[in-house]
Amino acid sequence: MPVAPAAEVRPERPARADFALQETILHGHRVAYRCAGSGPVLVLVHGITSTSATWERVFAALARRFTVVAPDLAGHGASAKPRGDYSLGAYACGVRDLLLALGHERATIVGHSLGGGIAMQLAYQFPERCERLVLVSSGGLGREVSSLLRSAALPGAELVLPLLTHTRLMAVGRAVGGVLDRVGLRARTDLEEMARGHASLGDAPSRSAFLHTLRTIIEPGGQRVDARDRLYLADDVPLLLVWGERDTIIPAAHGIAAHAHVPSSRLELFADAGHFPQLDEPLRFVAVLEDFIDHTAAARPDGQRLGELLRRGDPRVD
């Protein structure tokens, strides 16, 4: 499907009023989120140690055509960090509850990294809420993941995490990123966002939420959650996979394999992007996402059809 030239899309840095954090209370806990625009609903779900601000470079452009909702997940950003359930299922319920509280029944769900795993879980648990599924450098589609995340899953990592938030270490990371950027390796964004994420773990509640989340999805050997055994259910849901070819955290090979597993899906590889294509190439990201929505019909889940798929199982597995 042809994509409109990137030059036709001109997302600007949004005015602070457009991207301002709002708050609501769900189940007695504070939930922070950003919401703007009108039209079909688009939900943007960030990754681990990130926040809704990771969508800042594309938020205003998308809000011109869509009602855009971007939460700070529980344990992240300005949302509450309670003792509790930080599983993918709990996060999916949280996103669903926020949507309903804001008066939205259905949406296109866009998930980045951990958010991709949450988006898949939401589509599986609540298919009636998911019109389309967009996975951006998504977790849950293969074993491999960066060594830094694997090391954080080791016993005793909670004793090391405070050291990773040291300001001098953050400065070193940014300096290395600048060198790599100058020699043509587009790892700077990945390093800067990782540094920003680790800097967010400066208090005990944030570190606890991070470790509880991480250890539900990652173990020292790699990712422990694998959604590939249920990808066949995505045959009836429009699926877009977006990946940066220079991803230093989750390899683009995961997206390529997922696309092969779901022939009806669409794969977009960003040659000059890393783990954050929405930050590295925001113009193209917006163009691709809009084109995907324009050329696909919202899924209409059918309980009988879903039952047939479950009984049949994945035809690609012996």
**What are the residue ranges of helices labelled H in 49-183?**
56-63, 88-101, 114-125, 147-152, 157-164, 167-182
Class of residue 139 by CB neighbours under 10 A (exposed 0-12, middle 13-18, buried 19+) = buried
Q: Is 281 exposed, middle or buried (0-12, 13-18, 19+ CB in 10 A)?
A: buried
Q: Which of 50, 52, 79, 113 is catalytic?
A: 113
The whole-angstrom separation of Cα 299 and Cα 137 is 22
Q: Which of 112, 190, 275, 291 is catalytic?
A: 275
258: left (phi over 0), alpha (psi -120 to 50) or beta: alpha
128 three-class SS = helix
Is 147 labeled as catalytic in the residue annotation?
no
Backbone angles phi, psi at 34, to 5 degrees: -120, 140
For the question of residue 113 being annotated catalytic, the response is: yes
52, 79, 198, 247: the catalytic one is 247
* Torsion of Cα atoms, 4 then 10 then 13 then 16, to 10°: -90
Integer Cα distance of 154 and 294 in angstroms: 44
Q: How far apart are CA 150 and CA 172, in angstroms?
A: 21
Q: Is 52 a catalytic site residue?
A: no
Q: Which two tokens stand for residue 243?
A: 């990946």
Any residues with CB less than 8 A from the CB of 239 and at least 6 apart, and which? 132, 133, 134, 135, 262, 264, 265, 266
Annotated catalytic residues are 113, 247, 275
